[in-house]
Structure 1
Amino acid sequence: MYIITLTLTGLKSKAPDFIAAHNAWITQGFDDGVFVLVGGLKPQGGGVILAGGSDITSIEERVSEDPFVAEGIAIPHIQEVAPARTDPRLSFLSCASS
């Protein structure tokens, strides 16, 4: 499981030019079964993605293909998480629920 944060850069004014492609990239991540949550970071802006079902190399490659990352609009940070305990509603995370 990975938590990916996208921090906007000084080039964030270019975001409107690439928002359609960024949204298509997000849709593809869901369609491929990799993304399970996507949202905005408040109040500073940027975004967060919860991803799974891939190894770190595949995640890094996928993130590099985000138009916001490729165009320097956002800087990604990928953090691997090893779920050890979850609420039963998150049983899909493949760890012992307690």
Structure 2
Amino acid sequence: MFVVILRFAANKNQAPQHMAGHQEWIHQGVQDGVFLLVGSLQPGQGGAVLAHDTTLDDLRERVAADPFVAHEVVSAEIIEIAPNSTDARLAFLAA
């Protein structure tokens, strides 16, 4: 399981130009079953993605393809988590 932190970067002001592509990138990640949760970092600091059922290398490629990352609207940090215990509702994450 991975957490991707997308913090606004040098070209934050270009976000409106790349928003449609970024939203399509999010939609594709959800459709592919890789993104379990996508949301905003508050207050207005960027975004975060909870990713699952992928490899670190594949996720790095996917993140690099985000127009926000490619155009330095955000900087990306990928954190890998190896779940030890989970609530029963999230047991699939430990599999």
Establish whether TM, by shorter chain, passes 0.5: yes
Alignment pair present for 1:45 and 2:45: yes
- RCO greater where, 1 or 2, for CA within 8 Å and sep 6 or more? 2
Which residue is equivalent to 2:66? 66
Conserved 8 A contact 2:82-2:94: no
Q: Secondary structure at the match of 1:43?
A: coil
CA drift of 1:94 comes to 2.6
The equivalent residue for 1:33 is 33
Uncovered stretches (5+) of structure 1, i.e. residues with no partner: none
Runs of 4+ in 1 over 6 A off after TM superposition: none
Residue 44 of structure 1: how far off its partner (Å): 4.4
| Identity across the alignment (%) | 44
The corresponding residue for 2:18 is: 18
Structure-1 separation of matches of 2:46 and 2:63? 14
Structure 2 unaligned regions, length at least 5? none
CA separation in 2, counterparts of 1:37 and 1:44?
17
Instruction: Report how far residue 45 of structure 1 moved.
Output: 1.5
The alignment yields a C-alpha RMSD, in angstroms, of 0.9
SS at match of 1:58: helix
For residues 35 and 23 of structure 2, what CA distance do their matches in structure 1 show? 13
> 1:93: Cα distance to partner?
0.7
TM-score, length basis structure 2: 0.96
